[in-house]
Structure formats: C-alpha cells, structure tokens
Structure 1
C-alpha cells in the first residue's frame, strides 16, 4: 500500500506529513496490498489529482477544489472516513463518516510529547503567502515568531507545539495547534483561502472557522493570488505573467531603498497581524477532540483487521 499526497513544488507540511504519519498509525501498511492507494490527509478528493486506475482506501481526506472523482464503485473506493461532514455530503457517504482530519493524531506521536514552550506567539501562513510575501519581516516587526509552512514537516509541527499561541492562515497550522492544545486565531489574506475546507474541519471539533482579514504584504503576493494591493487589482495577473515570473521577482536582489519601501507598504499587514495576535483565541474542548480521535482510532482498527 502506498500513501498518496499532494506534493507542492515549494513544500507544504500539511501534505508532507503523509510521508510518515501512516507508518505510525498503521505499521506495516506499506507491505500490504500493493494494488491499494492510501488516500489520507489533504484536500485531495479531486479528479485532476488522483489516478483513475486502481483501488483506493480513503482515510480522512477532504474535498475543496475542482471536481470529485467518480467514487461510486465501492470495489475500487473503500471510503472509511473523510475530513468532515461537508466532504461526506459531497462524496455521498453518511455524515457520521466525516470524523476529523487525521492530522490531529500527530499529537499522539511520542516524539512530539512534552514540547517545551519556546515562543509566545507564532504566525503560520498559507504556503502561497510564504512563497511571495514579506511575512518573515512583517513578523519580526510585529514581535511574532515566523513559522514557514514549506519547511520539513516534523520541524514545522515541532515549532507549532512549542508555541503558546498560533495565528494561522494555514488550515493545518490551526489543526495542529488545536491538536497540541495550543490556542489559535484564524486569519486570511485573500479570498483564495478555501472556506469550504475550513468549515469542513471546524464542524468536526466545534470551533468557529471565521478568519480575521489581514492585508496582503507585497505586490508579488497580490499577483500570485489575483488580489488587490494598495488599491490596484491584480485579478488575472497570475495567468498573464505566470507564477514563474513572480518567483523570479521574489528572488531578484533588492536594494536597501527598495527593501525599505516594501516594509513601508507592508505596514497595514504588520498592524493587522499584531492585532490578530492579541485577539481572543479559540480551542476545541478536550472532550470533543477526544471523542473525534476515538472514532478515528476505531476506523483505523477496522482497517488493520481488513488490510493488515
């Protein structure tokens, strides 16, 4: 059995954790049923992503982009659970199979136990924000620790666990914070942040997915997101220029004057992020999270009986 995950060319810890999480949850799964693809953490129930051929075992995946694959053939699709009730409704399985995002079980791995708190507050942006934004500088100015979602997944998760508060634009930043019992505040820099998948997960643990709006930090970030920056609308600019052009612009060296100018233009982002770090955070209840994890472990026990 092989785990499937969406692989960003930039790296994204919420997807990359599939590379080792299932070895902890289902030891020996790689040696069983070579014809089965384990479809796990991520918004990957998308006909453009998953191969049409072969059997799939779905464990906690979500819908949120594109179109669903044809999942009617239950001999090819073994849907044991999905990320939440909204995905369950789209897939056409009972709502009770929308249990929770399996990433919550990362917090049960011994290597992440008893993490000392090293940071009072940290910001975990969406990977697109990290690619084109000025967020490390914004965070430094606001006195907030910056966590790059493109880093090695275990390192990123360890940093989240070591915080007292997380400001999260990354959904898995919020999911992992909640799993480690770290209060969190949801933020969003553009309409590109997928509200459906946030509501899908949030419903399972009884939290409010409403995000505080944070202004975009750079022109390049606006281009890659097709959004507005300082009154200029860049909708469609990504298609016209291509993401490669944005990457080149970000990589090009900047003079001290240009860097200072960028920091001035990012002042609204800095202020809004600082305000978010002082907003009332939230956290699911211990009872609700424990109940969801117990249901997911019960599903995994059934998978062990049937596959391993």
Structure 2
C-alpha cells in the first residue's frame, strides 16, 4: 500500500504530511497490499486526480475541486471515512462517515508532545499567497511570526505548535492549530479560497468558518488570484503584458544588483503598497480567536481511531 497525496511544485505542508503521518497511524501499511492506494489528508477526491488509479482506501479525504470520480464500485473504492459531512453528502455515503481531517492526529505523535510556547502570534498563509505575496515582510512590520506553508512539513507544524495564536489562511494551518489547542483566527485574501472544504472540516468540530478579509499584498498576488489591488481588478492567472523575462515574480521590471539604492527604494515602495494588507493582518491578530472544545476534538479523534482499528483488521 502506498500513500497518495497532491504534490505541489512549490510544496505545501498540509499535503506533504501524508509522506510520514500514515507510518505513525498504520505501522507496516507500506508492506501490504501493493495494489492499494491510501487516499488520506487533502482535498483530493477529484476525477482529475484519482480516476483510473486502481484500488483505493479512503481515510479522511475531502472534496472541494472539480468533479468527483465514479466511486460506486466497491471493488475499486473502500471508503472508510471522509473529512466531514459535506464531503460525505457529495460522495453519497452516510454522514456519520464524515468524521474529521486526519491531520488532527499529528498532535499525538511523540515528537510534537509538550512543545514549549515560544512565539506569541504566527501567520500561515495559503501557499498561493506565499508564492506571490509579500507576507514575510508584512508580518515583520507588525511583529507577527511568518510561517511559510511551503517549508518542510515537520518544521511548519512545529512552528504552529509553539505559537500561542495562529492567524490562518491555510486551512491546515487552522486544523493543526486546533489539534494542538492553539486558538486561531481565519483570514482570506481572495474569493479563490475554498470555503466548502473549510466548512466541511469546521462542522466536524463545532467551529465556524468566518474569515476576516485581508487585501492581497502585491500586484502579482492579485493577478494570480483574480482580485483587486489598489482599485485595479485582474482576471485569475492573468499574465503581465511586458516581457516576462525582464520581470520578477511581482510582475515588475527587475532592478540590476549594482543599483542597491534603487532596489531599496523599490522595496520600500512595495511595503508602502502593502500597507492595507499590513493593517488588516494586524487587526486580525487582535480579533477574538476560535478553538473547538476538548470534548468535540477527543470524540472525533476516537471515532477516527476506531476506523483505523477496522483498517488494521482488514489490511494489516
């Protein structure tokens, strides 16, 4: 058996944790049933991703993009549980199988127990925001720790665990924060953030997805997400009109290295243009956070562990 996950070319810790989480939860799973794909953490129940990939064991995956594959053949699909009731309804299985996102189980791993709190507030953006935005600089301006979701998954998760508050545009930033009992505030920079998957998970733990809106931090980010930047609207994925070989990832003309003064001015100009983002993020850091109840989290984890017991009996 091998784990399936969506691999971002930029890296995304919420997907990358599949590479080692299942070795903790289902020890020895890789040595059995080579014909089976373990479909776990991620919004991966998609026709484009999974159709024609052989026998699949679904453990906590979610729907959210594109269309579902035909999952009616029990010889091809063994659906033990999904992320939440919204996915269960879409798939056509009983709502009771919409248990929780398996990423909550990371908090039970020995290496993450008793991590000391050394950071007051951290921001975990969506990976698209990290690719095209100026969020590291924005966070530095307001004294918030920046956690890049494209980093090594284990290090990203440890940074979440050692924080006292998480501001999350990344859904798995909120999921891991909640699992570590770290209060969190949801934010969103554009309509491209998928509310279906957030609500799917949130409904399992009795929390509410009500993101605070934060403006994008750069023109490139607006172009990627199809939103507005300083009153100018862009279509999603819109390319710059000038020669891209002469542009940096903000869609602006690059400055030669031997012109440090101009580079410094350009950096200052970018930070000035990101001022609305900076203010909104600072305000989000002072908002009332959420946290599921200990009872709700424990109950969902217990149900998921019961599912794993069944998988061990049938597969291991």
> TM-score higher than 0.5 here?
yes
8 Å Cα contact 2:188-2:214 kept in structure 1: yes
Find the counterpart in structure 1 of residue 279 from structure 2: 271
Cα offset for 1:249? 2.1
Superposition TM-score, scaled by structure 2 size:
0.94
**Residues 247 and 134 of structure 1: is their aligned pair in 2 closer, same or farther, counting only changes over 3 Å?**
farther
Find the counterpart in structure 1 of residue 174 from structure 2: 174
Cα distance in 2 between the residues matched to 1:41 and 1:188: 22
8 Å Cα contact 2:133-2:218 kept in structure 1: yes
The RMSD of aligned alpha carbons is 1.7
Find the counterpart in structure 2 of residue 96 from structure 1: 96
Cα distance in 2 between the residues matched to 1:246 and 1:290: 52
Cα offset for 1:246? 10
Find the counterpart in structure 2 of residue 140 from structure 1: 140
Find the counterpart in structure 2 of residue 85 from structure 1: 85
Cα offset for 1:245? 5.1
* Regions of 4+ moved over 6 Å: none
Find the counterpart in structure 2 of residue 258 from structure 1: 266
Superposition TM-score, scaled by structure 1 size:
0.96
Find the counterpart in structure 2 of residue 249 from structure 1: 248
8 Å Cα contact 1:168-1:174 kept in structure 2: yes
After the TM superposition, which residues 1-308 of structure 1 pair with which residues of structure 2 at under 5 Å, given as runs? 1-236=1-236, 238-240=237-239, 249-250=248-249, 252=254, 255-308=263-316
Cα offset for 1:155? 0.1
Gaps of 5+ in 2: 256-261
8 Å Cα contact 1:83-1:99 kept in structure 2: yes
**Residues 248 and 180 of structure 1: is their aligned pair in 2 closer, same or farther, counting only changes over 3 Å?**
farther
Find the counterpart in structure 1 of residue 259 from structure 2: none
**Residues 135 and 246 of structure 1: is their aligned pair in 2 closer, same or farther, counting only changes over 3 Å?**
farther
Larger Rg computed on CA atoms: 2
Cα distance in 2 between the residues matched to 1:14 and 1:60: 13
Cα distance in 1 between the residues matched to 2:182 and 2:203: 18
Gaps of 5+ in 1: none
SS of match in other structure, 2:199: helix
Aligned residues: 306
Cα distance in 2 between the residues matched to 1:257 and 1:170: 31
8 Å Cα contact 1:224-1:246 kept in structure 2: no
Find the counterpart in structure 1 of residue 258 from structure 2: none
Cα distance in 2 between the residues matched to 1:260 and 1:16: 34
8 Å Cα contact 1:168-1:187 kept in structure 2: yes
8 Å Cα contact 1:220-1:246 kept in structure 2: no
Cα distance in 1 between the residues matched to 2:54 and 2:189: 38
**Residues 277 and 246 of structure 1: is their aligned pair in 2 closer, same or farther, counting only changes over 3 Å?**
farther
